[in-house]
Amino acid sequence: MKFAALFAAAAALASALPLQRREVPQEHSHDLIVNAVRTISQKGGNKDPLLGVDPVFGPLGTQAQITQINKTPGLSAEQKDDKCLQQNLADLCVTNAKKNGNNKNEIAVCMQFRVLERNSGSVGGTQATCTKTPKNAELAGLTQLQDPASAEGKSGNAGIQTQLAKNLLKLGFTADQAANLALQTSTFGPGQIGDNTARGLSCDNNPVTADRDGDFFGRAIKKGQQIDCITQATLAGSKSKAVPSISKAALLAALGGNKGGNKGNNGGNKGNNAGNKGNNKGNNAGRGRGRGGRGNRNTGNAGNNAGNNAGNDAGNNGAVSFGSCSAPKIEFGVGFDGRKETAFQPTDKRSFNHGSAQNIGVITGFVCDRLKDTCKASAAAVAKCAQATAAANGAAAKTGAQADAFNAVFGARTNFAAVKPVAP
């Protein structure tokens, strides 16, 4: 897959707009994507009034967007919604790409643009998301990444990049290509909350000339090529480098690198079905469910993936469904996120991507909300999470016994109570 020609043509436009220093994350940090969207949207003599809003305003902050919207004649009421400006610009890009060759590489750039982090005004700040359904199915389920220093960024960015990769897979890219394209949208690393410059680890010094050959998540870079500053920083390993919210290995697993696990799940499900039939005939219910659990564990664990986790969930938790996520499980220990003190965190960061906390309530609250909103778990699973939270609250505070109590409700036996608590 080659984007070189498209990005090279677009990069020439990088200096056409004034480079203003604004709040985090800096609207020109991903100029290769923004400039390509500008080129794609203007192809074929498109007359949409939204072309009066340059794509650079997509990643800008709310006030800058509103100002530009008010200056642009002919916009519809829908196009004047600043919360949806980035999505509207991405929709325009996809629509025009389809009309002018239906090139999947161009459509992919429009999709990348949709998830770029917007300026938030402060380190750890966030921007409201658009709740309207996009016009193009390629953008379904996509929203912008949030500041990685924010709670929303820590809990949601991995899911956003995963959804982008899944949409790209449907568009016809290989899993490896889709993962790379999703990772190219990565934000900077999390800055320091309270930074009065509001710049965090961001950069904005574009255009930049590559000083070395390199690879930016599958995008080949040649020395002397005009690139954006986040690409340059990543190649150099400097502080403004792109920091993915999810590893490529985890993305590939989410994109179907779980065939072994799916086979295991099938075996486990057959076991569950056999057990259920046995129950109907008056046999011991425990034996039937046990077979399902064993069938899934023995075969499915070889897959070591999300699909396998779902199968284990069925074996351990009966009819409870955790939707797209694994059964919740919390761990307790020292060293999470560089901490010297003991803390709690979700065990499966792919399903429950959240940082550590000393108060288990922070983790249980996030996990239970995630089950309901993102995982689309059953009502029984959500109720079970509330039961597990109550069990954790009944154990000694800030000890591993709380994690053990929570996990036990979901059928997991752990012994974090043996971990000696360490105060900050």
pLDDT per position as a tens digit, 344-398: 999 998 889 888 888 998 899 889 988 988 899 998 898 899 889 989 988 999 9
37, pLDDT greater than 50: yes
124, pLDDT greater than 90: no
Hunting for tokens 């004034």 — which residue is that? 18
- The string of DSSP codes covering 192-258 is -TT-TTS-TT-----SEE-SS-EEETTEEE-TT-EE-HHHHHHHHT-TT-B--SS-HHHHHHHTT--
- pLDDT-derived band of residue 7, with 50, 70 and 90 as boundaries? low
200-235: string of b/e by CB count within 10 Å (b at 16+)? bbbbbebbbebeeebebbbbebeeebbbbbbbbbbb
- CA end-to-end span of the chain, whole Å? 50
Q: What are phi and psi of 209, to 5 degrees?
A: -100, 125
- pLDDT-derived band of residue 107, with 50, 70 and 90 as boundaries? very high
Q: In the 8-state DSSP scheme, what is residue 188?
A: B
Tokens of 121: 């005004």
Spatial separation of the C-alpha atoms in residues 243 and 186, rounded to whole Å: 6
pLDDT at 111: 98
pLDDT at 257: 61
Question: When comparing pLDDT for 115 and 273, which is higher?
Answer: 115
Tens-digit pLDDT profile for residues 279-314: 444 344 333 333 333 334 443 343 344 444 444 444
pLDDT at 132: 93
Please report the sign of the dihedral spanned by the C-alpha atoms of residue 135, residue 137, residue 140, residue 142: negative
Tens-digit pLDDT profile for residues 142-155: 999 999 989 999 99
Spatial separation of the C-alpha atoms in residues 369 and 366, rounded to whole Å: 5
Predicted model pTM: 0.59
Cite the beta strand spans of 44-116 per DSSP E.
Answer: none
Where is average pLDDT lowest: 9-13, 61-65, 358-362? 9-13
From the number of C-beta atoms within 10 Å of its C-beta (0-12, 13-18, 19+), residue 249 rates as exposed
From the number of C-beta atoms within 10 Å of its C-beta (0-12, 13-18, 19+), residue 29 rates as buried
What are the residues whose beta carbons fall under 8 Å from the beta carbon of 170, sequence distance 6 or more?
Answer: 138
Contact (CB, 8 A) for 256 and 268: no
Helix, strand, coil percentages, rounded to 5, for the chain: 50, 5, 45
The CA-atom distances, in angstroms, between 332 and each of 192, 335, 344, 368, 370 are 25, 10, 5, 18, 20
18, pLDDT greater than 80: no
Tens-digit pLDDT profile for residues 173-206: 999 999 999 999 999 998 888 877 777 788 876 6
Hunting for tokens 């057959």 — which residue is that? 270
pLDDT at 24: 41
pLDDT at 88: 96
What are the residues whose beta carbons fall under 8 Å from the beta carbon of 188, sequence distance 6 or more?
Answer: 25, 29, 148, 200, 201, 202, 203, 230, 240, 241, 242, 243
Mean pLDDT of 237-244: 92
pLDDT at 301: 41
pLDDT at 365: 86
The CA-atom distances, in angstroms, between 145 and each of 21, 44, 185, 246, 368 are 20, 30, 9, 12, 22
Contact (CB, 8 A) for 322 and 377: yes
